[in-house]
Amino acid sequence: MYNVDDLYEKHGKPLGLELVAGKSGLSRSIKLPEVHRPGVALSGYLKSFANKRILIFGNVETQYLKDLKKEERIRRLKSILTPQLPAVIVAGRFQPVSELLALCEKMGIPLFRAKMATMNLLTRLTIIINEEFSPLMTCHGTLVEAFGVGVLIQGDSSVGKSEAALGMIERGHRLICDDVVRIRVREGTYLEGSGPELTRHLMEIRGIGIINVAHLYGAVCVRDDKRIDIVVKLEEWDDHRFYDRIGLDEKYCDLLGIKVPYHVLPVKPGRDVVLLIETIVLNHRLKEMGYNSAKEFNTKLLDTISKKQNAKKLKNENLSQSKS
What's the rounded Cα separation, in Å, for the pair 75 and 87?
19
Q: Which residue type is seen at 28?
A: R
Catalytic residue among 28, 37, 76, 161: 161
| Helix locations, the chain, DSSP H | 4-15, 59-67, 70-80, 98-107, 118-133, 161-170, 213-217, 273-288, 293-323
Tell me the backbone φ, ψ of residue 12, rounded to 5 degrees: -60, -45
The reply to whether 245 belongs to the active site is yes
What's the rounded Cα separation, in Å, for the pair 233 and 317?
53
Exposure string of 255-287, with b = 16+ CB inside 10 Å and e = fewer, is beebebbbbebbeeeeeebbebbbebbebbeeb
What's the rounded Cα separation, in Å, for the pair 12 and 19?
9
Three-class SS state of 137: strand
What's the rounded Cα separation, in Å, for the pair 156 and 169?
21
The reply to whether 259 belongs to the active site is no
Catalytic residue among 10, 70, 115, 140: 140
Contacts of residue 229, defined as CB under 8 A and 6 or more positions apart, other chains included, come to: 149, 150, 151, 260, 261, 284
The reply to whether 75 belongs to the active site is no
Catalytic residue among 47, 69, 240, 245: 245
For the chain, helix, strand, coil in percent to 5 are 40, 30, 30
Catalytic residue among 5, 6, 179, 225: 179
What's the rounded Cα separation, in Å, for the pair 178 and 254?
21
The reply to whether 179 belongs to the active site is yes
Question: Which strands sit side by side in the sheet containing 17-21, from one edge to the other?
Answer: 17-21, 111-114, 88-90, 54-57, 35-36
Angle, vertex CA 231, rays to CA 228 and CA 235, nearest 5:
150
Catalytic residue ranges: 140, 161, 179, 245
